[in-house]
Amino acid sequence: MKYTELREQALEANLEIVRAGLVVLTFGNASALDRDAGIMAIKPSGVPYDDLSPETMVLIDLETGNTVEGDLRPSSDTPTHLVLYRRFSTIGGVVHTHSPFATAWAQACQPIPCLGTTHADHFYGSVPVSRKLTADEIAGEYEANTGVAIVETHLGLGLDPLQVPAELVWSHGPFTWGPDAATAAENAVALEAVAASTLRACQINPSISSVQPELLDKHFLRKHGANAYYGQVA
């Protein structure tokens, strides 16, 4: 079995989103990319999380979308993952969930404003909602078009994918990503925490608006910029 580490990264991200309470039933999937090899490992479709192992991860060719190894069908969201990897050249992991609060924002078709430092630690500004798909896009290559809408929305807003590593799909749920699958999963956890506290903050103070820009800069850049000083030295 090749790509053992890649399979394990994909498996671990799939298990992490379950442990973190982000997944109900089988509403969730995570993938990991080996960009040099052009191979993605992703969860099989509709398989209970308890039955997952490195061996059940499906290997997909990034360019062709064909299955390279694996007897199971890959996640039905596979084409969305592939589009994200092809168009966002700096990312190495993608996670999709229907986590309770982030899904509520997605299905309310509202971006999550940045109200504080929890958000600023992970997302450099509002988390946007992707544009609505057309009837033709839904009837056609629906899952791939979901990825196209994410990319177009993100780039249309001038966002760097690693600075805002999340988007809410219109009437659907959140996608997050990162330089690797573990970070994509961490961003899914952070997004859910932010989605919950932001809803509650808006209920406490309906006139609250975005955090002061200096605080957004400070928190994002102390963790992610060239001068980051959070955590241990790598």
- Supply the residues annotated as catalytic: 121, 230
Select 34 or 142, whichever has its Cβ closest to its own copies. Answer: 142
> Least distance to its own copies from the beta carbon of 130, Å?
13
> Least distance to its own copies from the beta carbon of 36, Å?
28
Stretch 207-226: interaction string toward its own copies, x if CB under 8 A: -x--xx-xx--x---x----
Q: How many residues in the shown chain lie near its own copies by CB under 8 A?
A: 61
Single out the residue of 4, 50, 57, 61 nearest to residue 30, CA to CA: 57
Angle at which helix 78-87 crosses helix 142-156, to 10 degrees, equals 30
Instruction: Tell me if 73 contacts its own copies by CB under 8 A.
Output: yes
Burial class (CB in 10 A: 0-12, 13-18, 19+), 230: exposed
Token readout for 93 is: 């992991």
* DSSP string for residues in 144-166: HHHHHHHHHHHHHTT--TTTS-E
Tell me whether strands 174-178 and 93-97 are parallel, antiparallel or unpaired.
antiparallel
Residues that bind its own copies (CB under 8 A): 24-25, 27, 44-47, 72-73, 76, 98, 100-101, 103-110, 115-118, 121, 132-133, 135, 138-139, 142, 171-173, 186, 189-190, 193, 196-205, 208, 211-212, 214-215, 218, 222, 229-233
